[in-house]
């Protein structure tokens, strides 16, 4: 089980030499009370005999830095590294929600897929008229008084989280992980530039540039410095109405959340998302009240600090609400509805532009002029994308554009079909 900075391992307690770990220890490690940061270099943590170990063999747990972890298991040809293991599920800790496994061996965090899918839906509803009219997301407010900008902060936060998770995975697999991330950002820039031909307001180019200039260099910083920079950039960006500076701050915030282990615990608590959501809701209501009282005569097309702050806090409320709902019986519904869209977010984001343009220019629908046409069109596009994503992921590991992006990231052709197909 990989954690930031090292690997949890388990081995037989008997003998002088540590044997190659062959037992999935996700369940036990998730509940271990040991201070992981103080355990290094194959030091035993616990000696126990349990029915989860074949024949009741006593075992010990240990933690070691990634750089000390052996790349080839001596005497065990063909044995896979824990971080390279391919499996469909990882055994969850007692009382914890199940998670699907990534190809890197890290448990897939279903909450991130759900958040990504939900945000993708919001982005299309917010931008469909802009796409149809070839507008930009920073000039025109497409839906009158309804504020549509929830998608940008959530997606930016998720991008920072995903970047840092991938950096951790790359550190397990290659000697120059930041080169892997640089290739990924350069590929994203190329995709964004091509997408910009169809829609000038697309966001991928900004993400790639900010990623290269801010997120990648921040990977050399300690986590407290990353968190500190995020705490500075986000308020400064709010005074300026958002823009690339806000993207940079949210990227760093997402990275800091991974660094401090928050993302590892994201699906294990109901209390903290609930309390944080209530704080965000009170803050958003206060910011909106101040905006209405103090800035009633301001230009509505020019975002102020209070309106930008309210947008950000509302986005936080939405995230916390979804995390709470994922701890309820609604979890399977949310997973079925949003996770397929989220797992193929890049493919769906780009194909949505093509479908909107096809609806408005080939079919002649007044998408850019009528909300009564725009909303049903967005709903139809998302329904079609959900169906295709669900069917596609039954056979393939990831979406077609995600696969190409992964190829560019790792500079080698990844497997395309599912394991065993």
Are 32 and 45 in contact, with CB atoms under 8 Å apart?
yes
Residues 65 and 116 grouped into a single domain = no
Answer whether residue 332 shows pLDDT above 90. Answer: yes
Residue 86, domain member (yes or no) = no
pLDDT digits over 229-247, tens only?
999 999 999 888 778 999 9
Residues 12 and 119 grouped into a single domain = no
Residue 419, domain member (yes or no) = no
Residues 323 and 262 grouped into a single domain = yes
Residue 374, domain member (yes or no) = yes
Answer whether residue 113 shows pLDDT above 90. Answer: yes
Q: DSSP states of 52-63 as a string? A: TSGGG--EEEEE
The pair phi, psi for residue 301, each rounded to 5°, is -85, -10
Residues 178 and 305 grouped into a single domain = yes
Residues 163 and 282 grouped into a single domain = yes
Predicted TM-score of the model (pTM) = 0.73
More confident residue, 394 or 304: 394
Angle at 125 between CA 121 and CA 131, to 5 degrees: 115
Residues 114 and 25 grouped into a single domain = no
What's the domain range around 321?
110-410
Taking residues 22-29, report their average pLDDT.
Answer: 37
pLDDT digits over 241-264, tens only?
778 999 999 999 999 999 999 998
Taking residues 354-373, report their average pLDDT.
Answer: 92
Helix 271-294 vs helix 305-325: angle between axes, to the nearest 10 degrees?
A: 160
* Tokens (6 digits) for 267: 């699906």
Residue 295, domain member (yes or no) = yes
Point out the domain boundary residue: 51, 69, 87.
69
Helix 345-357 vs helix 110-132: angle between axes, to the nearest 10 degrees?
A: 20
pLDDT at residue 172, rounded to an integer: 85
pLDDT at residue 296, rounded to an integer: 56
Residues 291 and 195 grouped into a single domain = yes
Cα–Cα distance, 294 to 138 (Å, whole number): 24
pLDDT digits over 39-49, tens only?
344 344 433 33
pLDDT digits over 34-91, tens only?
343 433 443 444 333 333 444 444 455 554 444 444 443 333 333 333 333 333 333 3
Cα–Cα distance, 404 to 413 (Å, whole number): 8
List the end-to-end C-alpha distance of the chain, in Å, as a whole number: 26
pLDDT at residue 136, rounded to an integer: 55
pLDDT at residue 10, rounded to an integer: 53
Answer whether residue 93 shows pLDDT above 50. Answer: no
pLDDT at residue 265, rounded to an integer: 87
Answer whether residue 96 shows pLDDT above 80. Answer: no
pLDDT at residue 384, rounded to an integer: 97
Point out the domain boundary residue: 44, 69, 94.
69
Residue 292, domain member (yes or no) = yes
Residues 114 and 64 grouped into a single domain = no
Residues 54 and 121 grouped into a single domain = no
Give me the number of domains the chain comprises. 2
Residue 380, domain member (yes or no) = yes
Point out the domain boundary residue: 19, 53, 69.
69
Residues 239 and 358 grouped into a single domain = yes
Residues 58 and 124 grouped into a single domain = no
CA-to-CA dists, residue 106 to 54, 85, 166, 329, angstroms? 24, 9, 10, 25
pLDDT at residue 194, rounded to an integer: 96
Residue 74, domain member (yes or no) = no
pLDDT digits over 148-176, tens only?
467 889 999 999 999 999 999 898 888 89
Residues 277 and 371 grouped into a single domain = yes
pLDDT at residue 100, rounded to an integer: 43
Beta-bridge partners for 65: 6
Residue 417, domain member (yes or no) = no
Pick from 155-164, 299-308, 360-369 the range whose average pLDDT is largest: 155-164
Answer whether residue 9 shows pLDDT above 90. Answer: no
User: What b/e readout covers 77-97, taking b as 16+ CB neighbours within 10 angstroms?
Assistant: eeeebbbebeeeebbbeeebe
């Amino acid at each position: 089980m990989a954690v930031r900075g090292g690997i949890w391992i388990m081995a037989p307690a008997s003998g002088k030499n540590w044997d190659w770990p062959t037992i999935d220890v996700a369940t036990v490690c998730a509940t271990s009370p040991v201070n992981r940061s103080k355990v290094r270099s194959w030091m035993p943590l616990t000696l126990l005999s349990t029915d989860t170990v074949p024949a009741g063999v006593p075992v010990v747990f240990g933690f070691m830095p990634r750089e000390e972890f052996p790349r080839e298991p001596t005497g065990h040809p063909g044995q896979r590294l824990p971080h390279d293991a391919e499996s469909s599920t990882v055994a969850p800790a007692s009382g914890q929600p199940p998670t699907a496994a990534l190809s890197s061996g890290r448990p897939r965090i279903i909450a991130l897929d759900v958040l990504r899918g939900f945000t993708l839906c919001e982005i299309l509803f917010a931008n469909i008229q802009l796409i149809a009219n070839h507008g930009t997301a920073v000039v025109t407010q497409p839906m009158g008084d309804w504020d549509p900008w929830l998608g940008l902060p959530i997606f930016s936060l998720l991008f920072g989280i995903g970047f840092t998770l991938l950096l951790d995975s790359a550190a397990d697999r290659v000697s120059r992980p930041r080169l892997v991330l640089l290739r990924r950002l350069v590929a994203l820039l190329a995709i964004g530039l091509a997408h910009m031909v169809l829609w000038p307001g697309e966001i991928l180019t900004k993400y790639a540039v900010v990623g290269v200039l801010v997120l990648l260099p921040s990977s050399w910083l300690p986590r407290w410095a990353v968190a500190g920079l995020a705490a500075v950039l986000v308020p400064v960006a709010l005074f300026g109405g958002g823009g690339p500076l806000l993207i940079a701050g949210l990227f760093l915030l997402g990275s800091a959340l991974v660094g401090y282990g928050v993302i590892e615990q994201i699906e294990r608590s109901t209390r903290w998302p609930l309390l944080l959501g209530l704080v965000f809701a009170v803050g958003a209501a206060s910011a909106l009240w101040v905006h209405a009282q103090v800035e009633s005569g301001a230009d509505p097309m020019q975002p102020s600090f209070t309106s930008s702050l309210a947008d950000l806090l509302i986005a936080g409320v939405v995230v916390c609400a979804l995390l709470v709902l994922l701890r309820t019986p609604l979890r399977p519904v949310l997973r079925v509805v949003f996770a397929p869209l989220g797992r193929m977010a890049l493919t769906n984001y780009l194909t949505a532009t093509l479908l909107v343009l096809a609806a408005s220019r080939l079919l002649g629908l007044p998408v850019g002029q009528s909300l009564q046409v725009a909303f049903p069109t967005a709903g139809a596009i998302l329904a079609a994308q959900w169906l295709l994503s669900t069917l596609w992921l039954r056979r393939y590991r990831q979406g077609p554009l995600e696969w190409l992006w992964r190829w560019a990231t790792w500079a080698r052709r990844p497997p395309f079909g599912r394991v065993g197909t």
